[in-house]
Amino acid sequence: MTATGFWLIRHAIVAENARAVLYGTMDVPLCAESLVAQADSYRLLANTLPRAAQWIVTPLSRTHRTADAIFAAGYTARETSIEPGMMEQDLGEWQGLPHADLPARLREPAHAFWPLSGQERPPGGESMADVILRVGATLERLAGRHPGDDVVIVSHGGAIRAAVAHALSIAADTALHLSVQNLSLTRLERHARAWRVVCVNHSVAPEREW
């Protein structure tokens, strides 16, 4: 059976005031200036993504707007399905906190590349380990629903790290070492017996050649 291909795109950069706090699953706006400045990146994505793909976004508007920008850059607009299972890590009661206020609330040392360790679960929220379980179950369900198809998912940094962690069967703290930049492309394949990682955090900067 032909593999199901997942094309995971992290949404565009959010507004500067949103980046000043832990926004998690808050529905924050995109940076309007970056939407204009990164026009070439949207065109490259529009020219690179498979033509006959299924398109999925999350309930948060930053993924919808990123998909719309790719469509406007030359990819024929497609109907998008909303998938809550590909949401960002829910930081619970810590969402909206300025970054400087978080360390006093942690029960475990922060990760070197993320404000929380992989096992730290904010009150009312999720740990990165929880996100891996959620995203992994979502990907398996989507692979069963779209066997042999290409599936484009505009998602979030934490969810994409979790997707790679599921594919490679790695721990949450290990997954947090992965860099997933805004508008980067991560590709996974679900084969009959196993997952394959094709690329992670592939840049769509204009100077790169696909």
Is the pLDDT at 207 greater than 50, yes or no? no
- Token pair of 14 as six digits: 């959010």
pLDDT of residue 109: 96
* Residue 157: closest CA among 24, 65, 60: 24
Domain count, the chain: 1
Residue 47 DSSP SS3: helix
Q: Per the domain annotation, does 131 fall within a domain?
A: yes
- Give phi and psi for 71, each to the nearest 5: -60, -45
pLDDT tens readout for residues 153-178: 999 999 999 999 999 999 999 999 99
Q: Per the domain annotation, does 58 fall within a domain?
A: yes
- Give phi and psi for 209, each to the nearest 5: -105, 130
Range of the domain at 163: 4-202
**Cα–Cα distances in Å, from 76 out to 43, 50, 149?**
12, 11, 17
Q: Per the domain annotation, does 210 fall within a domain?
A: no
DSSP 178-190: ----TT-EEEEEE
For the domain that residue 12 is a member of, what is the CATH number? 3.40.50.1240
| Mean model confidence pLDDT for the chain | 95
pLDDT tens readout for residues 118-147: 999 999 999 999 999 999 999 999 999 999
